[in-house]
A = this chain, B = another copy of it.
Amino acid sequence: MEDFVIKYRKELLENVIPFWEKYSIDKEYGGYLTCLDRDGSVFDTDKFMWLQGRQIWTMSMLYDKVEAKEHWKEIAEHGARFILQHGRDEKGDWYFALDRAGNPLVQPYNIFSDCFASMGLAALYKITNNDEYAQVAYDTFKRIIQRRNNPKGKYNKAYPNTRALKGFSLPMILSNLSLELEHIVGTDTVESLIDEIIHEVMEVFYQPESGLIVESVNADGTFSDTFEGRLVNPGHVIEAMWFMMDLAARRKDAKLMDKCIQIALRALEYGWDEEFGGIFYFKDILNRPPQQLEWDQKLWWVHLEALVCMAKGYAYTGDERCKAWFEKLDNYAFNRFSDPQYGEWFGYLNRQGQPLLTLKGGKWKGCFHVPRALFKIYESLETTVLQGI
């Protein structure tokens, strides 16, 4: 696996990070510009809070884990200044989007803005010891926990109680977030959240008949034969499995680790497009027509999360099936998504594997999935090299 370590590390440091260093810093108004076309040119100046928080996290993580470069810390602090000044409403909830100057555009209807702001500031605290970052990360985390049963608040369009579904996204993100905030919220909080979340993901959302995980279930945990209840997002399942593998490793729980690998392999087989290659974005678990018109597209983050998952699966267990899938995914994804000409990865391919959009960043894609995955891939594979697997 040594060649892969070199390849993915080089991709991170030479092809991906320079792109964001060069094009995303808004020197005029602060924060980051994330709507970047293929060559890095700015095609829109709106600022989406998910991506502001995520870039703070990425730059802090690089400083912490890759190399203590002052420039990376400065970029993270540059983003933090902007979001702390403009990002919250009077209750401390985070807006979804701001305009370039920082004026609010879209209300705090989406709690993932809060999750990524908290995650970014917590990572920045780790490398700066600036208490303000820890305080806002902590306050935001508390609000997320308060709001978790109705995260959309008054913007929730579901009529109460006719069909009470619960979604897979929030427990997923909370498991990751609590770990990211362990140095701030303490290990007891993390451990009790982890207990709950492992149960939710691996038992409640998991469907034993199909071996898959659905995006939503009834409040009592039963299967819901509705558009939402039938929806499977294979990339999301696979991403969840490497979160769970990390928890299994933390707890030295071999049974949990084994179940994670089974589910991840099952989701890969299920999501793989036998005709054109790549992993579908959405499927209906009963094979009915999904609502999502983009269901057959191949998304960057899906393939990167799958690479991370297989790298981790192999590093934790030495399972050869994980290695084989890693190679297959690498073979499909690297040449299609990575853009050696201008840097970074394309985000959206059509079913046939050609770029559907030219953008490198937009409303949902920023400086996050590509660098996080590249780092985690080579970090995991390095351990296999060291262990001589």
| Separation of A123 and B182 alpha carbons in the complex (Å) | 62
**Interfacial residues of chain A within 273-310, with CB under 8 A of chain B in the complex:** 288-291, 293-297
The reply to whether B297 and A293 form a contact with Cβ atoms under 8 Å apart is: yes
A155 at the interface (CB under 8 A from B): yes
From B106, B158, B356, A158 is in contact (CB under 8 Å) with B106
Asked if A363 is at the interface of the complex by the 8 Å CB criterion, the answer is: yes
A192 lies within 8 A of chain B by Cβ = no
> Which residues of B lie under 8 Å from residue A363 when comparing CB positions?
227, 291
Q: Is A154 an interface residue (CB 8 A)?
A: yes
A359 in contact with B104 (CB, 8 Å): no
Q: Mark A346-368, 1 if CB is under 8 A from B, else 0.
A: 00101100001111001100000
How long is the Cα–Cα vector from A46 to B348 in the complex, in angstroms?
31
Contacts of A43 in B (CB 8 A): 288-289
Identical chains in the assembly: 2
What is the size, in residues, of chain A's interface with B at 8 Å between Cβ atoms?
A: 40
- Shortest beta-carbon distance from A151 to chain B in Å: 13
Question: Given A46-B227, A226-B46, A351-B350, A159–B106 Cβ distance below 8 Å?
Answer: yes
- Would you call B104 and A356 a contact (CB within 8 A)? no
- A44 → chain B, closest Cβ, in Å? 6
Within the complex, what minimum Cβ distance (angstroms) separates A6 from chain B?
32
B105 touches A158 (CB 8 A): yes
Asked whether A37 lies within 8 Å of B288 as measured between CB atoms, the reply is: yes
B291:A107 contact, CB within 8 angstroms: no
Q: 10 additional contacts, CB 8 Å, given A46-B227, A350-B350?
A: A96-B157, A105-B158, A105-B159, A107-B158, A155-B157, A289-B357, A289-B359, A291-B363, A293-B356, A350-B351
